[in-house]
Structure 1
C-alpha cells in the first residue's frame, strides 16, 4: 500500500469544465468545482481556465476548502517557435505556481500537435525528425534548469496526438534529456489509449516519474475512435476517458510499482468527460473510493 504521508491525492478540474471543449461544463462554476473536489475527499487540484488568476483570491478560495494547487499544464512550442518565446511564458507560469505553493509543472510539447484539431488522432500524428528532437530535448533541459533554480520540478507529459505519445518516443526524450532537469509525468490513460502498457512504463521510469495522472479508458470507445478515424476531442465527447476503477486499466499492480519505488508526490485523478453525462462529483467519489481500496490512501 502507498504511504499517505508521502503520496497526496488531487483531482483535475477538467471533469467539471473542459478547457479544450468549453461547452462541456460551461454551467459549472469554479466554486462548485473546488467545493466538490473537497467533498469527494481530495486535497489537491490542477488549474483550470475558470480559476481566479489573482494569487491571493485563489489561495483564499482553496484554503477554505483544504485544497492546494499541485500542478498546471504548460504548452511548449520548442519544435515550431523560437526558444525564447516559450521561455518567456514559462517563467510567468512557474512564477505563478511557485506563489501558489506548487513544486511541479507539467509540460507538453504542442509543436505539431493534433490533439485540439479535427484530424484523426490515430492516423495523423506527427513524427519528429532528428533536428526537431534535438531542439525539443535541448529546450526542455534549459526550461528544466530555469524551473529547478526556483524550486520547481519540470515533468514532461506524454499525450495522445502530440509528438511524444508512444513509449519509443518517451524513451528518446528520457535518453536525450538531463535527469537533473527533466522528469516524467506518468499518465496511465494516454499510455493505454495509444496501445502502450502503463505498467511497463511505470516500472521502466519509476525513478524519473515525479507526477502522476490517474486516468482510465473505455476500450470500446477507443476502438470506435480508431475505426471511425475520429479526432482526440471527438473521443472525449464520446467518453474515451473515465476515472480509475470505471474502465479498462488494472491499477493495482501500478500502485504496487509506486509503492516499491517509494514514490513521493501527487497523484491526480484526471478524466475529462461530458459532465452532463458523467456527474463530476459522483465520479470523483467513485475514484476516491477505488484508490482507497486499491492503494490504501
Structure 2
C-alpha cells in the first residue's frame, strides 16, 4: 500500500510527477515506445496525485480528463513555449489559447511559461556557452509584456502563470531571475526549479528568500555534480547533458532540500511539488526511479516540513 503524503491531509501542498522520467519532450528516442497508460499506471502506483502534461497524452479535453481520472490522477500543469522576448502580447495570447483551454478544462490552475524567444538556432544542441541574453535596456518592456500576458491568462482562463527559470533561456542566472521579478507585476508567478538553479550556479534558497510569496509552482530536480562539472568543462549542450545523466530525481544528486522543507513549514506555499528529471528511461527505469523519489520527498522534505510547522 502506498503511504499517503504526510502533508496531504493538513495542507494544500500536493505531490505530482513529470512524465519526463518516462518520455522526453525534445529527444524523441528517449521513451519513444512508452504508452500513456504505462506512465500513468506507474505514477499512480508510486503514490503521486497528479502529472504534468506530456506529448504522449491526448490533447482533447474529454479524452485527457477520462484518461487521468481513470488512474485517479489530476492534471498539474503544462509547459508553454513562450516568445514574449520577441513578439507581442496579442501574438502570445493567440498562440496559447488552445493549450490554456485544455489546461483549464482538465482542472489545472497553473501554466508553466518557458521563454523560448531570444534563443539561438538549435539552442538545446549547441554548447551552453552560446546562450543569448537580453540587453539591460530590454528588461522593462519584456516585463511589461509578461505582466500583461499573465493577467490575460488569469482573466480569460483562470490560470496562474509560473515563469520557469531555465538553462539556455534568458532567465538562467540569479541576477536574470531578479530582473524578471523586478520588471513584472504580481500576476507573474515564479516556478522554483531546484535543479536548474543548482546547474546555473546558485542556491535555490536565494529564490525562496527573495521571492517566496511569488513562488506558485515547484519542480524538484536533482543534479549529479560530477556530470555537471564535465558538462561545464566540455561546454556540452543541454541535450548532451540530459543524455549524460546530469539531471536526476531528488535524492540522487547534490541538491540540499533542507531549505525547501523550511519554506514549506511556513505554510505560505499552496500548490504542487513536482518530481521532474529528464533522464534516459533505459538507464533509469521510471517505475523504480519515481517510486524512490516519492519516498525521498516524503521522508526528507514533507515530513520534516510538517515537523517544523
TM-score bin, normalised by smaller chain = over 0.9
Matching of residue 39 in structure 1 with residue 45 in structure 2? yes
Q: Residues 169 and 2 (structure 1 numbering): CA distance in 2 closer, same or farther, change over 3 Å?
A: farther
Q: 1:117 aligns with which of 108, 119, 124?
A: 124
Alignment correspondent of 1:162: 169
Q: Residues 65 and 116 (structure 1 numbering): CA distance in 2 closer, same or farther, change over 3 Å?
A: farther
Q: How does 1:125-164 map onto structure 2 within 5 Å?
A: 125-149=131-155, 150-164=157-171
CA distance in 2, matches of 1:233, 1:192: 17
SS at match of 2:152: helix
CA distance in 2, matches of 1:192, 1:165: 10
Unaligned runs of 5+ in 2: none
Residue range with higher mean Cα deviation, 261-270 or 75-84 = 75-84
SS at match of 1:267: strand
SS at match of 2:167: coil
Matching of residue 79 in structure 1 with residue 85 in structure 2? yes
Alignment correspondent of 1:187: 193
Once the two structures are superposed, what CA deviation does each residue of 1:130-187 show, in whole Å capped at 9, x if it has no partner? 44323421111111111221321111000000010111011111111011x1010000
Alignment correspondent of 1:64: 70
Alignment correspondent of 2:287: 281
Q: 1:18 aligns with which of 1, 24, 27?
A: 24
Partners of 1:29 and 1:50 within 8 A in 2? yes
Residue range with higher mean Cα deviation, 124-133 or 186-195 = 124-133
Alignment correspondent of 1:201: 207
Q: 1:175 aligns with which of 159, 182, 192?
A: 182
SS at match of 2:76: strand
CA distance in 1, matches of 2:124, 2:174: 23
Partners of 1:2 and 1:255 within 8 A in 2? no
Partners of 1:15 and 1:280 within 8 A in 2? yes
Matching of residue 3 in structure 1 with residue 10 in structure 2? no
Q: 1:264 aligns with which of 264, 270, 273?
A: 270
Partners of 2:208 and 2:263 within 8 A in 1? yes
Alignment correspondent of 1:222: 228
Once the two structures are superposed, what CA deviation does each residue of 1:103-146 show, in whole Å capped at 9, x if it has no partner? 1111011112258432211x112120144323421111111111
Partners of 1:184 and 1:210 within 8 A in 2? yes
Once the two structures are superposed, what CA deviation does each residue of 1:227-256 show, in whole Å capped at 9, x if it has no partner? 011101100000010000111011122221
Q: How does 1:239-258 map onto structure 2 within 5 Å?
A: 239-258=245-264
Once the two structures are superposed, what CA deviation does each residue of 1:17-68 show, in whole Å capped at 9, x if it has no partner? 1011010000111110111100111011110111001111111111111100
Matching of residue 90 in structure 1 with residue 96 in structure 2? yes
Partners of 2:60 and 2:102 within 8 A in 1? no
SS at match of 2:227: helix
Unaligned runs of 5+ in 1: none
- What's the RMSD between the two structures over aligned residues? 1.6
TM-score by length of 2: 0.92
